Amino acid sequence: MNSGTDAHVYQLLLIDDDEVDVITFQRAIKKADLANQVDICYNASEALIQLGTKTYDCIFLDYLLPGTDGLQLLRKLRDMNINTPVAVMTSQGDEKIAVEMIKNGAFDYFTKNEINPDKLSKVVFSAVRLWDAERQRQIAEKQILENNSRLNAILESTRNLIYAFDKNFNLISFNSSFKENIEHLLRLSGFVKADINLADIPLNKERKEDLIAHIERCLLGEQFTILQQLSFSNIRDAETPWYETTFNPIVNDLGEVDGVAIYSQDVTEKKKIEQDLLKAKNEAIAAAQTKSEFLSNMSHEIRTPMNAIIGLTELLLEEEFEAPILENVKSIKYSADNLLVIINDILDFSKIEAGKVTFENIDFDIRHRMAELRKTFEHRTKEKGINFSITIEEAVPEIIKGDPFRLNQILFNLVGNAIKFTSEGQISVDVTIGSKKDDKINLKIAVADSGIGIPLSQQSKIFESFTQANTDTTRKYGGTGLGLAITKNLVQLQNGVISISSEVGKGTTFTVEIPYTLGEIKNIEENNKKVTTLADLSSLNILLVEDNIMNQFVAKQFFKKWKNELIIANHGAEAITILAAREDIDLVLMDLQMPEMSGFEAAAVIRGTNTVVKNPNIPIIALSADAFLETRRKVIEAGMNDYVTKPFKPEELYSKIVKYTQKISLLE
């Protein structure tokens, strides 16, 4: 190294009591090829004082000093934690002295007759390299100690279990949480040990086999997580803790897996919460099932007499009565229809709550739907003296694709609501396009009225279940408070939005925006076949299976108009007897809830492989007051062909009879 270019000046300390040797050293080091600064000490005391004030790159130590020797001073330096590299010089070439000096921390040993520039340069450079290496080692050791300290702090700060096994299944490391938990589990199992050793852990056979299998799997290099109950006995109960345990391979410098690190987190509380939630879920499902069954039964019980009331009033309305009597019959029909709306609201709300609402995706004519809406409500609006108008923007496509029946339900709720709360003025329905992109459109429909209006403070609440704007609304106007809740849900379930604008005394506007796609007119079938005159059914033998006498009477009256004499069975067992004796029955209308044998049971017998009936493939239409979607699904699963809800619409029932018998055609 050239002293002229070396920026570092080496700090050297010479400890020697011989003036001649000191001069010789100074001359040699001056000629050496390194920049240096040499301090001289003539005895051990001076050296110790000097080393307390300054740090050196290398110490040259004479072995023979006054009052002591180099070995004693060297030991003193190391005891004082002075680790500067020491090169020992002596006039004696004693190997034993050299060995002792090296053993006590000297890094080099040479005789004084070797003192020359080249030798001293080599010694200094070696000392510097050694000293740098030592400093790096000390820094590394310090970092390792600090890292270990941090790691231990982390390991000991967690209540989770951290432990490790070598490839011979020996427990090689664990944190205090592991030790505490194992000791606790050991005490629970009747074992008491102060110190933990792998051999001391009394794993039951199953647990030991599981653990060994998991360790073997991890030793193959796989990392994985399992959920387990940690127990040292063969008994696992609700108190046995649950652990989520992760097995991690320990890889050495050669890339070989030579151990397994395991991290176990106590998830007992989480597991308990999950179990509680599962229990609560199962209880909720059971409660929902009970509720569904209750509502299904109530639907049947309420709709059964409603079928008779509505059916009879429809039959009466076809007769010619004097005006007062006709008005009374109309009032009965109006009240019955209102009651049916309330029943339907409750059932629809139950379906929404249960998440069982389904949507069609078919092409339909929006203008035709609006015309039907007008026909439905114009009589009621005329009776109240309210002007009712429907306008459709010219840009609105003729055919769109979506669920026309749910759109009907939404509009019927909104318009019906408007009529209920409007005593004078007008009600308008405006249909426009909210937005359009490619074949996607947002249909925007605003239903406005000049009714009583809704206070601002109540507008955010009216979409809630069983809520109306004022406490006297139900008493004054009636209703369940479910209509708007159902409407909002039906809109949102179709990815639409509904909003309200209202002012007390001036009226209310509900705006609905629902996404649809453009449809094609060729796909529309809803008006291709329309019954204008019901043909007679005199050519058919139809079996009605119905236990309610009044419903039998109502059905007979309708079928008389269709020139058909129904064959009656009071329950499923009677139906089987009739079908076993006669092969000329064309179709069965099957009630579902009946004594002795239900409609489901009767259908199972009819469709059974060993059936006694003459025609096991006979068409069966369920005719039931149970309007739940689940019931419809069960009807199809039971082998029946179709479903009509009571109170039935004559045209709907007639069309389905024609569809499944194919003996007569619909009249155009």
In CATH, what number is assigned to the domain containing residue 14? 3.40.50.2300
**Residue 470 forms part of a structural domain:** yes
CATH number for the domain including 364? 3.30.565.10
Q: Is residue 338 part of a domain?
A: no
Same structural domain, 371 and 510: yes
| pLDDT at site 521 | 83
Residues 176 and 234 in one domain: yes
Q: Are residues 573 and 655 in the same domain?
A: yes
CB atoms within 10 A of CB 152: 12
Is-contact 597 606, C-beta < 8 A?
no
**Contact call for residues 602 and 563 (beta carbons, < 8 A):** no
Shared domain check, 426 and 511? yes
Nearest alpha carbon to residue 486 among 348, 323, 317: 348
Reported confidence tier of residue 4, pLDDT bands at 50, 70, 90: very low
Number of domains in the chain: 4
Pick from 635, 608, 607, 637: nearest CA to 621: 635
Of the candidates 593, 643, 585, the one whose C-alpha atom is nearest the C-alpha of residue 613 is: 585
Which residues sit opposite 265 in a β-bridge?
Answer: 244
Residues 95 and 190 in one domain: no
**Which residue range(s) make up the domain with 421?**
357-523
Q: Give the pair of three-digit tokens for residue 133.
A: 């290496």
Helix/strand/coil percent split, the chain, to 5:
45, 20, 35
655 falls within a domain: yes
How far apart (Å, rounded) are the C-alpha atoms in residues 231 and 212? 15
Among residues of the chain, what percentage have pLDDT more than 70?
A: 81
Q: Hey, CA dihedral for 96, 102, 106, 112, is it positive or negative?
A: positive
- pLDDT tens for 486-498 read 889 889 999 999 9
Phi, psi of 481 (to 5 degrees): 80, 15
| Domain-embedded: residue 197 | yes
User: Is pLDDT at 661 greater than 50 in this prediction?
Assistant: yes
DSSP state of 116: S
Mean pLDDT, all residues of the chain = 82
- Pick left, alpha or beta for residue 217 (phi over 0 → left; psi -120 to 50 → alpha; otherwise beta): alpha
Would you give the end-to-end CA distance of the chain in angstroms?
A: 115
Residue 189, pLDDT score: 59
495: alpha, beta or left? (left if phi > 0; alpha if psi -120 to 50):
left
Same domain assignment for residues 363 and 488 = yes
Is residue 473 located within the same domain as residue 432?
yes
Q: Domain boundary residue among 266, 285, 315?
A: 266
The tokens of 497 are what? 């939005």
From 266, 288, 303, the end of a domain falls on: 266
CB neighbours of 438 closer than 8 A, spacing ≥ 6? none
- Quote the tokens at residue 387: 């002007």
Contact 500, 462 (CB under 8 A): yes
Where is average pLDDT lowest: 293-297, 370-374, 451-455? 293-297
Amino acid 1: pLDDT: 42
43 has pLDDT over 70: yes
Name which of 131-135, 201-205, 312-316, 343-347 the model is least confident about: 201-205
pLDDT category of residue 288 using cuts at 50, 70 and 90: low
Best CA proximity match to 13, nearest among 122, 89, 92? 89
Could you read off the pLDDT of 508-546 as tens digits, one per residue?
Answer: 999 999 999 998 887 775 444 544 455 688 889 999 999
Helix H or strand E encompassing 117: helix 117-157
pLDDT of residue 479: 47
User: Comparing 115-124, 212-221, 269-278, which segment has the lowest mean pLDDT?
Assistant: 269-278
What's the mean pLDDT in 455-466?
76
CA 23 → CA 17, 29, 108, 285, 484, distances in Å? 11, 10, 21, 102, 110
Among 2-11, 72-81, 418-427, which is the least confidently predicted range? 2-11
Q: What's the pLDDT score for residue 668?
A: 34
pLDDT of 560 > 60? The answer is: yes
> For residue 531, is it within any domain?
no
Domain boundary among 242, 266, 290: 266
**Residues 112 and 179 both lie in one domain:** no
pLDDT score at 469 = 45
Helices 268-317 and 629-637: crossing angle, nearest 10°? 90
**pLDDT for residue 134 is more than 90:** no
Q: How far is CA 455 from the centre of its chain?
A: 38
* C-alpha torsion 552→556→557→559, nearest 10: 140
Is 605 domain-assigned? yes
Closest C-alpha among 557, 566, 569 to residue 594: 569
pLDDT for res 507: 92
Question: Domain check: are 385 and 507 in the same one?
Answer: yes
Structural contact between residues 388 and 424, judged by C-beta atoms closer than 8 angstroms: no
500 and 380 assigned to the same domain: yes
On the question of pLDDT at 194 being above 50, the answer is no
- Residue 236's CATH number: 3.30.450.20
> Model confidence over 45-76: pLDDT tens digits?
999 999 989 989 999 999 888 888 888 999 99
| Cross-strand partners of 68 | 65
Mind listing the pLDDT tens digit for each residue in 575-610? Answer: 999 999 999 999 999 999 898 999 999 999 999 989
Q: Is residue 341 part of a domain?
A: no
**What distance in Å separates the CA atoms of residue 247 and residue 228, rounded to the nearest whole number?**
13
- The per-residue pLDDT for range 213-255, each reduced to its tens digit, is 898 999 999 999 998 776 654 445 556 778 889 999 999 888 8
Strand-strand pairing, 387-392 and 426-437? parallel
Confidence of residue 187 (pLDDT cuts 50, 70, 90): low
Query: Which of 72-81, 85-94, 246-255 comes out lowest in average pLDDT?
Result: 85-94
Which of 435 and 303 is assigned the larger pLDDT? 435
**Alpha-carbon span 534 to 335, nearest angstrom:** 27
Q: In which band, very low, low, confident or very high, does the pLDDT at 5 lie, cut at 50, 70 and 90?
A: very low
**β-bridge mates for residue 515, sequence order:** 442
- Is the separation of the CB atoms in 295 and 343 below 8 Å? no
How confident is the model over 604-622, as pLDDT tens digits? Answer: 999 998 999 999 999 999 9
The DSSP annotation for 185-210 comes to HHHHTT---SS--GGG----HHHHHH
Q: Of the ranges 39-43, 200-204, 523-527, which is most confident?
A: 39-43
Same domain, 247 and 112: no
pLDDT in tens, 354-398: 666 778 888 999 998 898 888 878 888 998 899 999 999 999 999
Task: Judge if 512 and 393 occupy the same domain.
Answer: yes
250 falls within a domain: yes
Q: Can you spell out the DSSP letters for 570-618?
A: SSHHHHHHHHHH-S---EEEE-SS-SSS-HHHHHHHHHSTT--SS-TT-
